[in-house]
Structure 1
Amino acid sequence: MMELLQITTSTSVADSTMMAGASDSVSVLDLLVTGGAMVIPLGLLFIAALYILMERMRVMKKASKLPNGFHDEVKRMVSSGDVNGAMLYCAQNDTPMGRMIEKGISRIGSPLKSIEASIENVGKIELYKLEKNLSLLATIAGAAPMLGFLGTVTGMIRAFIAIAQQEGTVSPKDLSTGIYEAMITTAVGLFVGIVAYLSYNFLVAKVSKLIHQMEYTSIDFIDLLQEPQKAS
């Protein structure tokens, strides 16, 4: 009978401990609220980083869309003397490569150096459009962890001031609560910084790939213009 009572008592204690642990669990939203005012600018930076990532991915996806056989069709039209048709075909392809070739075709008849310069100028403008807001994303990647650390330092200062103002012995719970609340902003800042850093490097790789495509397109077009000279 005594053994049964001991088992029942231990089971009740275990159940009460599990219920207490469940009631003491803290959600992510509660942690963010506990982090203080510094979490607000970090949240805004996170939203800005996600917006830049989505917007740039949409732009680069559109910029990389060239119809199959684009270069061959341009070569065929230019070789046959259909300059206006080639320009119209390039204008229908709203991509950096299409606009570069359209500019080059419009300069046919000018010296080769002039054509190369006009294509290069258009390429610089297109590159500027592709790299828009990437510097801001890099800034977010560097600033978010520092803001998080700043929030931690200010939170620790407030926690120690509150502890110093208490009379008598400070309980470990009060000390640990102040410290973990201050550390929340560091965790949030690191998370935002990591997301922004990975997004920046991902977009830079995409831009680099598009630059290689633009260079190949311009070189291929210049070679096309030199073909009649080689043949002669």
Structure 2
Amino acid sequence: MMSLLTALQATQVEALPEDAAAAEPVATAANAAAPASLDLLDLVLKASIPVQFIMLLLVVASIASWVIIFRKRAVLRRAAREAEQFEERFWSGAELSKLYSGATERGRTLGGSEAIFEAGFREFNRVRTRRGVDGRAQLEAAQRAMRVTTSRELDGLEHNLELLANIGSTAPYIGLVGTVFGIMVTMNSLLASNQQVGIKDVAPGISEALLATAIGLFVAIPAVWAYNRFASGVERLAVRYDAFAEEFSSILQRQAHVDD
């Protein structure tokens, strides 16, 4: 009886190392099943030459779009601020001749509403000095000058917006071209190996190819958003310039009538 109990105790003690040994393969399998981290730089370096060229092209387009975004943001803010400041002086009751003298000072760069005012008032005074010219001709000349200046101001505000729109609309398609090239290169290399392949053999090449599409989307989204925002800002300034030109035309019309 004592020998039987001793044998049972020995059996229980020896079962513990077996359980620990059985737990080791489970832990190893769990570690193997953990997903590997995605190394984007490694994907770029291992991509084919056409895909790398397309990625480089997208990076250059992204840099250009961000340069345009920051510059255009500063330009539109300055234009809105200058228009507000001049219109405050204009409607404060200051004399037109004093405003014109201040606008024509040397070393000053005119823009926005002030440039429209300067062009209209200059043309109005120039035509008024001619003999036999009625008030309607003076007003029409001033309005033409203001329309030309308004068009020039808006053209400056819209500068590079077309490039921003082109980047936003074409970047996804350029990235898709890189994806197509990447998949083609991957498939050709696997077919040339004449070996049975699995998902582990295809996945790296597909990941490299899809990275080009992802870069294209990251380039396009900020460009499209910025274009829509800046286009709305330019449109608001255009409405503001047109309204100021109409109001100034009314003032010149009354002044031409008094002179007549």
CA contact (8 A) 1:97 1:214 kept: yes
* Displacement after TM superposition at 1:167 (Å): 2.2
**Equivalent residues of 1:141, 1:196 under 8 A apart:** yes
Matched position secondary structure for 1:76: coil
SS at match of 1:132: coil
* AA partner of residue 30 (structure 1): D
On the 8 A contact 2:43/2:207 being kept in 1, the answer is no
**Structure 1 CA distance, aligned partners of 2:26 and 2:89?**
75
Rounded to whole Å, the distance in 2 between the matches of 1:161 and 1:65 is 59
Q: 1:3 to 1:223 in 2, by over 3 A?
A: farther
Corresponding position: 1:64 with 2:80: yes
Measure, in 2, the Cα distance between the counterparts of 1:164 and 1:13. 33
Deviations 1:11-46 (A, max 9, x none): 84487358x64xx31244334444541110000000
Structure 2 counterparts to residues 143-182 of structure 1, below 5 A: 143-182=170-209
Q: Counterpart of 2:95 in structure 1: which amino acid?
A: M
User: How far apart are 1:176 and its partner, in Å?
Assistant: 1.9
Which residue number corresponds to residue 96 of structure 1? 112
Cα pair distance change 1:72/1:167, threshold 3 Å: same
Of 42, 46, 52 in structure 2, the residue corresponding to residue 30 of structure 1 is 42
Q: Matches of 2:180 and 2:90 in 1, distance apart? A: 58
Letter of the aligned partner of 2:94 in structure 1?
A: R
Cα separation, 1, equivalents of 2:169 and 2:142: 41
Code of the aligned partner of 1:48? A
Instruction: Judge conservation of contact 1:152–1:183 (CA < 8 Å) in 2.
Output: yes
Q: For residues 134-213 of structure 1, what are the structure 2 equivalents within 5 Å?
A: 134-213=161-240
Residue in 2 aligned with 1:76?
94
1:126 deviates by: 0.9
The runs of 5 or more residues in structure 2 that have no matched partner are 1-15, 128-137
Give distance in 1, aligned partners of 2:78 and 2:22: 68
Q: Does 1:45 align with 2:76?
A: no
**Residue 215 (1) aligns with residue 247 (2):** no
Distance in 2 between the 1:27 and 1:89 partners? 61
Residues 120-176 of structure 1: CA deviation (Å, up to 9, x unaligned): 011111111111111111111122111111111111110110110112311211112
> What CA distance in whole angstroms lies between the structure 2 residues aligned with 1:11 and 1:60?
63
1:64–1:95 Cα contact (<8 Å) kept: no
Q: Is the Cα–Cα contact under 8 Å of residues 99 and 122 in structure 1 kept in the other structure?
A: yes
Which of 86, 93, 112 is the matching residue for 2:99?
86
Q: Distance in 1 between matches of 2:59 and 2:165?
A: 16
Matched residue pairs, number?
Answer: 223
**Rg larger in 1 or in 2?**
2
Cα distance, 1:10 vs. partner? 7.6
Identity of aligned residues (%): 25
SS at match of 1:26: coil
Contact 1:62 1:95 in 2 (8 A): no
Q: Which moved more, 1:142-151 or 1:86-95?
A: 86-95
**TM-aligned CA distance change 1:29 to 1:90, over 3 Å:** farther
Q: Normalised by the size of structure 2, how large is the TM-score?
A: 0.76
Q: Which runs of 5+ in 1 are unaligned?
A: none
Mapped partners of 2:46, 2:142: distance in 1: 62
TM-score by length of 1: 0.84
Cα distance in 2 for residues equivalent to 1:31 and 1:200: 31
Q: 1-side partners of 2:141 and 2:59: how far apart?
A: 49
The answer to whether the 8 A contact 2:90-2:99 is kept is no
Check whether the contact 1:134–1:200 (CA below 8 A) recurs between aligned residues.
Answer: yes
Partner of 1:16: 31
Q: Judging changes above 3 Å, is the alpha-carbon distance between structure 1 residues 123 and 173 closer, same or farther for their aligned structure 2 residues?
A: same
The residue identity in structure 2 corresponding to 1:59 is: V
